[in-house]
Chain A
Amino acid sequence: MAAKGTGFSWFRFVVMVLGGLVLLFIVAPLLGMFIHTPLSDVAHTATESEVTNSVWLTIWVSMAATVVFAIAAIPFAYFLARNNFPLKKVVLGIIDLPVVIPHSAAGIALLGIISKQSVIGGMFSSLGIELVGTRVAIAMAMAFVSIPFLINAAREGFAMVPEKLEKTALTLGASPFQVFFTISLPLAWRSVVSGLVLMFARGMSEFGAVIIVAYHPMVAPILIFERFNQFGLKYARPVTVIFIVISLLVFIALRLIANKKIKND
C-alpha cells in the first residue's frame, strides 16, 4: 500500500512495527523448529514406516472426508445462499457450532453416537462393523470439525452469483440441475475450492476430536503428540517438520490445480 502524501507518519510506523511483531510471532516458532531439527534426523524419520503411514493416512482420510461430505454440503450451501426461511439464523448457528465448541468435546459427542452402546454404533455393530478406532471414525471426526469452513465459503460464493444469470439460464431451456452445474457452480468455483481446501486442511490438522474416537490408526497430529509424550521435544520435531512440509506441498499443489481449472473454464 502506498503512503498517502509524503513524509514520515508516526501512525504508519506504529502500525508497521505491530504488524511485524505479529508476523514474527507466527514465523519464529516455525523457523526455530526447522533450524533446530538436523536434516539427518528428518531424513531418518522420513524412512520410518510408522511416520510415512501416518502422514499418508492423515492426507487421504481427510481428503475422503472432504469429498464425501462435499457431495451433500455444496448443494446445501447453495440452498442456504438462495433461500430465506424461518429459523434460517438457527440453521446457520448450528453450522457454526463445531467451530465454537472445544474439539475434545466434539469428539466426546461424536463418540456418543458411534460407540457400540449407542443407537447408530449399535446398528453398525450388529452388522459386524465397528466404527470406533477406524478410518471411518477418523473421517467423521475430521468432517465434524471442518465442515463449517466448506459450507460457509461455498455459501458466500453462491450468494455472489447474480440470481438473474440463473433465471436467464432457466428461460434458455436449462433445468434447475443444469443451471446449477453450468452456471452457479462454475461461477462460485473459486469460493467452493477455497472451502474444500480449508476443510481438507482443517481436517488434516485435527487432533482433539480424532484422538477420542480413534487413537489408532494414528494420524500425524496424534503421532506427533505421542512422540512428544514418550520421547520428548527432540523426537517430536522431525515428524512435525515432515508433516508441515508435506501439508504445505499438498496445499500448494491443490491451489495450482484449482487456479488452472479456473483459467481453463
Chain B
Amino acid sequence: MIELQSISKKFGDFALENINFEVDEGEYFMLLGPSGAGKSMLLEIIAGLVKPDSGAVWLNGNDITDMPTRKRKFGLVFQEFTVFPHMSVFDNIAYPLKRLRYSRSELNSRVAELAKQFSIEKLLSRFPENLSGGEKQRMVLARTLACKPKLLLLDEPLSSVDVQLSMELRSLLRSINAQGQTIIHVTHDYEEAISLATRVAVINAGKIEQMGSARDVFQNPKSEFIARFTGVHNFFPVQLKASGNHGLYIAQLNSDINFYCYADKIAKVGYVCFSENAVVLSVNEPNQSTVNVFRGVIKEIIPQRFGFEVMVDIGTRVVSHITWEAMERLGIVEGVEIWISFKASAVRFISSVD
C-alpha cells in the first residue's frame, strides 16, 4: 500500500539513510527505536510535512513524494495532545470535515457518530482545557479518523500517558486496526511493539537494522544494538493457562515447556519475556523457592563487558548472564549439563490480544 524507496534526509548532524520498507493494507507496522533515531522525521516525511533529500514515497503505485500534505489524506497523531485549544470538542472533531464541504446535518451526524465511537459524546460542547489526558487523546483520535484516513501515522501516542490509560489506548488502537485501518506507529517502547505490531522495524541512527514480525525481531536480534535495545533475549510466544494458584499462570510454549508467571488478567495469547540477569545457573538441582526450574545443556558462552552470556538449551534457548567470578566458581564449559532457575515474578507477560 505505502512504500518508502531509499529515503534519505539530513538534518543537522544527523541523517536518515536509505530507508526502504513497504506496509500492506491493514497492517500494524511499528517503527521501534531509541529517541533521536529519526523515527519522527520519517513519519513527517511520509505525511509530506518534510521533504526527503532523495528517495520516493509511493502510495498504491503512485509517486506521492511531492504531493502536499493535505492531499495525502493521512492521519497523524503526535505524542503531545495536539488539541486545538480555541475550539470546542465538537469543532475540533468537525475541523477536518469542514474542509470537505459537508452539509450541516451530515457534519452533525458524523461528529455524533465519532464521539460515540470514542465515548466522548457528553463532552462535545466543552473546551479541551477541561478534558483529562485520556479524553484529549480520544478526541484527537476521533478528529484524525473523521475523514477516514488511508493511513494512520502515530508518533509515540502512548508515551505521555499513565499506565492505565496506555492500556486503554492500546486496546482502542488494536480495535481501530482490526477494523482494517492501516497504521504506522513510532515508539521507543518494545513492549508496545510486542503488544500491537503485526510487523516491526528497528531503527537506529537513521538506519533500519532489522524488520520482521515481533517474534522474529525479538527472538533473533540481528545486531547487538537490537539485542541490547530490546533488552530481552528470553522472549517466547505463549498460551496462557490458569495454574490453580491465584494470580499465577502457566505460560505454555509447547507441550514440553511451561513457564510460571504472574499476570493481571487472563488473556489467551501473548508473549513472555524475562531478563537474562534473572536466570540463575547451578550445577546441582536447585532447592530454592523458584518455581521455574529446568535442566539443559550449555550451547554457547559469550564473553561480555561485565561477565558472560550463557546460552542454555532446555528445549528452547534461554540466555543467562553471569559474572566472571560466578563463571570461575561454577567452572562450566560448553556442552555440559546445567540447571537453570528463575522466579515467576521475573517473568513478564505481554498480551497481544484483548
Contact = CB atoms under 8 A, between A and B. Distances in A.
B99 A172 contact: yes
Contacts of B144: 171-172
Interface residues of A, number: 18
A162 B82 contact: yes
Contacts of A170: 49, 69-70
Nearest to B69: A170
14 contacts: A164-B78, A165-B82, A167-B44, A169-B95, A171-B72, A171-B74, A171-B153, A172-B96, A172-B99, A172-B144, A172-B146, A183-B84, A186-B86, A187-B86
B73 to A, nearest CB: 7
B143 interface: yes
Among A167, A171, A183, A186, residue most surrounded by chain B Cβ atoms (within 10 Å): A171
Nearest to B100: A173
A172 B86 contact: no
A45 B76 CA distance: 64
A186 B84 CA distance: 10
A34 to B, nearest CB: 41
B70 A168 contact: no
B202 to A, nearest CB: 25
Interface in A136-194: 162, 164-165, 167-175, 178, 182-183, 186-187
A172 to B, nearest CB: 4
Interface in B62-83: 69-70, 72-76, 78, 80, 82
Contact of B82 (A164, A173, A175, A186): A164
Given A173-B96, A173-B99, A174-B99, A168 B147 contact: no
Contacts of A265: 86
A175 B70 CA distance: 7
A175 B69 CA distance: 9
A173 B85 contact: no
Contacts, number: 59
A26 to B, nearest CB: 36
Contacts of B238: none
Nearest to B71: A173
Nearest to B44: A167
Interface in B86-114: 86, 95-96, 99-100
Interface string B248-292: 000000000000000000000000000000000000000000000
Given A173-B147, A175-B70, A168 B82 contact: yes
A168 B76 contact: yes
Contacts of A172: 70, 75, 95-96, 99, 143-144, 146-147
Given A164-B82, A171-B47, A173-B96, 20 more contacts: A162-B82, A164-B80, A165-B84, A167-B49, A167-B69, A168-B76, A168-B78, A168-B82, A171-B153, A172-B75, A172-B95, A173-B73, A173-B99, A173-B100, A173-B147, A174-B70, A174-B95, A183-B84, A186-B86, A187-B85
A168 B43 CA distance: 12
A162 B95 CA distance: 17
Nearest to B96: A172
Interface string B17-52: 000000000000000000000000000100101000
Nearest to A179: B70
A186 B70 CA distance: 20
Contacts of A169: 84, 95
